[in-house]
Amino acid sequence: MEIDLINIEKAYGKHKVLKSISLKCHPGTITGIVGRNGAGKTVLFKAICGLVSIDSGEIKIDGKIKKSDSILKSTGVIIEGPAFLSNASGIKNLMYLYTINNKLDKKYLEEVMKKVGLDPSEKKPVSKYSMGMKQRLAIAQAIMEDPECLILDEPFNGLDNKGVDEIRSLLLDLKKSGKTILVASHNPEDIRILCDEVYEMDDGIMTKRSLKVSHFQTILMPLAPSI
């Protein structure tokens, strides 16, 4: 899936949160979006998915103008905190969502859980999961429908070093399979390892674009907190 955003604008009242945003994402690539908190990254991701409407601009999918909500049907998403059935196990959460589209393949979902480092036989409810386990389950939800596109806002939140390495490897494998992937992360190492292209946002504006990952330090280092 090729995604082409052309002069996207969004305002809440008089406050413009997206200002003439343009970018293009290609199949088999990972595009990184970086910027400080409040820069507009999350709103941009919601706009791409159709979770918020845009005021002006165009969204093209594979060269054709489409409503953004049509993208969601073939996209796996992590934006803000995912909703879980807190009293159900991880596998039951996935099974519930999977059956919404009249699908049921428990063995397949068990394999999805293993891919993200979770034990599908674990019976404890999600309410007892650690933050890292919940994040792994959110990633499982995002990939379980084998979407053409993944839009992931801070997908490594709550993961320990082992978890970060495992999910990075998973995303690189998904990239090799031809997925179109957008990632927002505050961690320069995530961007360096994963991304083919990097955009920086500041106050709703796309301020920088780097076609070479070697330029990531120029974009990210000012964003890293001082120690």
Question: 158-170, pLDDT tens digit by residue?
Answer: 999 999 999 999 9
Contacts of 189 (CB under 8 A, 6+ apart): none
pLDDT at position 209 over 90 = no
Identify which has the larger pLDDT, 198 or 214.
198
pLDDT at position 225 over 50 = no
How far is it, in rounded angstroms, from Cα 181 to Cα 171? 8
pLDDT at position 179 over 50 = yes
How confident is residue 68, by pLDDT bands cut at 50, 70 and 90? low
pLDDT at position 58 over 70 = yes
Contacts of 45 (CB under 8 A, 6+ apart): 33, 77, 79, 151, 153, 182, 184
Average pLDDT for the chain:
89
pTM assigned to the model: 0.89
How confident is residue 62, by pLDDT bands cut at 50, 70 and 90? confident
Yes or no: say if 213 and 29 are a contact pair by the CB < 8 Å rule: no
What is the average per-residue pLDDT within 108-137?
Answer: 97
DSSP, collapsed to helix, strand or coil, labels residue 60 as strand
pLDDT at position 122 over 90 = yes
What is the average per-residue pLDDT within 23-45?
Answer: 94
Beta strands 149-153 and 56-61 are unpaired
Yes or no: say if 212 and 206 are a contact pair by the CB < 8 Å rule: no
Tell me what pLDDT residue 226 has: 36
How confident is residue 9, by pLDDT bands cut at 50, 70 and 90? very high
Beta strands 205-210 and 197-202 are antiparallel
Task: Enumerate domains of the chain plus CATH numbers.
Answer: 3-81+147-223 (3.40.50.300)
Of 39-53, 58-72, 76-90, 108-122, the range with the highest mean pLDDT is 108-122
pLDDT at position 211 over 80 = no
